[in-house]
Chain A
């Protein structure tokens, strides 16, 4: 297999372009910060060997009491993300080709496709988070009020909650790795809200054109 070189126009300017509005960034970080708390407290609850994590999260009792409420905030954030990003995250024809070029993407960090605002990987992560967020919410309710649920429901909910957590953890690790270590210049989109036009033309050329056409 040969790898086709990308055909893109690199815009010779160092100007920046707005990728995420202030509102989008706030929602992202609310979800992100609550997720980290849920991740760590969940780890302390699911793995007795990680119980020491509770000390850094307010102590066992506080952590156990906070976990479901933090989960409510997290869920609310996801709900906003549904309205905010679901349209942009719809899969289209180009996404199939993106998946075919995963190997090239891995080697060069680029597929050469005329990618829009999000590539298939980003879209996939978005839907995985929403789907498993829903699973964690549904299985989380009987863990919040166990005395209302039967023993079987509680046990099933605990196992499913723990497994769904693993999917979220895997997605989160990849998400953080790709947006910081793997692709420099990405993180600023979620801090200042702006990315360089060079970054945009490299990763999301169609989005940049659409942006310019505004």
Chain B
């Protein structure tokens, strides 16, 4: 919500070389959501609303145990629900806490053209500063997880802050605090990865052979990981199997290459025109007195090959300041219509 928290900044949108970190060993913080322990109670949703003073979004029954159909600018945390039929005629309820995953390489930040509107603190939290947001919504296109939401009233984009204001004061995030089963955990990234790895091993021992720690490398890893018991059902959970900001074919990759192409082409164009001007100069119409009686005329070079100086009468302003315009074209013999070759 704000960058004025005294936290070291690793990256700031639209600001090259923006790292302010001179500290050593700043701990990397992360959440981990152990889907195995989640009972779908939505206490985290309520806690999120409460801590962040977010207004209620009306709910409606759309045939799901989900409270709202989607994230909104004022609903930053949503328990997504999906019922799937399994091969053995059983069913599974897939419940996933959906909120910002705080990528190590945030696509939103890479896409953002507003200086400082998106920051990544040294501890890994990705935060929006709405005072600097220009409302272009590039971050929405840049996010591989479809998280940021635009508020048409304030014309700004909002998302989970990982309770950076609580974290900064040594508190755990509101959703973590409210979770009754300990499904959402918070701590150093190291500890969270260790928890996830051991939990995945336990799940696999229990028969969930596809259990996995969701921490995709395509975005450099995330600061809200998942323990996914049914790792073969990422799509059903609503998780992309390969979220990516590094590949050239990913949106951020294309955007990056488009920017490089654009910068190179723009400079090439400017320099190209400058060289073109030096080489070919200006081309004024021939002076009036250079026209021969037959009306045959040979441009700057004059009918008899001599360089014509000066212009009379109300001739339009022309470039008699540039030397190259009086030079005959090199290498190309200029032939008049009566076959006379000029040198």
Contacts and interface: CB of A to CB of B under 8 A. Distances in A.
Contacts of B297: 5-6, 8, 10
Interface residue range, chain B: 35 or more
Given A64-B136, A146-B137, A184-B282, A5 B152 contact: no
B295 to A, nearest CB: 4
A163 interface: yes
Contact of B265 (A7, A103, A170, A184): A170
A46 B262 contact: yes
B254 interface: yes
B291 A61 contact: no
A154 interface: yes
B285 A170 contact: no
Nearest to B280: A106
A166 B251 CA distance: 18
A14 B291 contact: no
Given A48-B112, A146-B141, A159 B258 contact: yes
B155 interface: yes
A4 B137 CA distance: 56
Contacts of B313: 14
Interface in A27-70: 44-49, 51, 54, 60-61, 63-65
Contact of A107 (B112, B262, B280, B282): B280
B333 to A, nearest CB: 6
B241 interface: no
A51 B118 CA distance: 14
Interface stretch (A113-121, A124-132, A196-204): A196-204
A7 B14 contact: no
Contacts of A6: 297-299, 337
Contacts of A60: 113-114, 132, 134
Contacts of A21: none
Interface stretch (A71-79, A80-88, A90-98, A175-183): A175-183
Nearest to B266: A169
A183 B335 CA distance: 22
B247 interface: no
Contacts of B259: 46-47, 162
Contacts of A203: 285
A1 B341 CA distance: 12
Contact of B261 (A2, A64, A107, A166): A166
Contact of A45 (B136, B276, B284, B290): B136
A9 B295 contact: yes
Contact of B270 (A173, A184, A198): A173
A169 B332 CA distance: 31
B264 to A, nearest CB: 10
A104 B251 CA distance: 44
A8 B335 contact: no
Contacts of B254: 155, 159
B273 A5 contact: no
B316 A64 contact: no
Contact of B315 (A7, A63, A195, A198): A198
Nearest to A155: B251
A63 B134 contact: yes
A87 B141 CA distance: 41
B316 A185 contact: yes
Given A5-B298, A162-B262, A198 B134 contact: no
Interface in B291-343: 291, 295-300, 313-319, 329, 332-337, 341
B158 to A, nearest CB: 13
B14 A51 contact: yes
A9 B291 contact: yes
Contacts of B319: 181, 184
Interface in B94-125: 112-115
A199 B284 CA distance: 8
Contacts of A123: none
B67 to A, nearest CB: 20
A108 interface: yes
Cβ-closest 6 pairs across A and B: A109-B283, A185-B316, A48-B14, A107-B329, A202-B285, A60-B134
Given A3-B334, A51-B113, A146-B137, 12 more contacts: A6-B298, A7-B296, A9-B295, A10-B286, A12-B291, A61-B155, A64-B134, A108-B300, A154-B137, A154-B141, A162-B255, A182-B283
Interface of A: 1-10, 12, 14, 44-49, 51, 54, 60-61, 63-65, 103-104, 106-110, 143, 146-147, 151, 154-155, 158-159, 162-163, 165-166, 169-170, 173-174, 177, 181-185, 188, 195-196, 198-199, 201-203
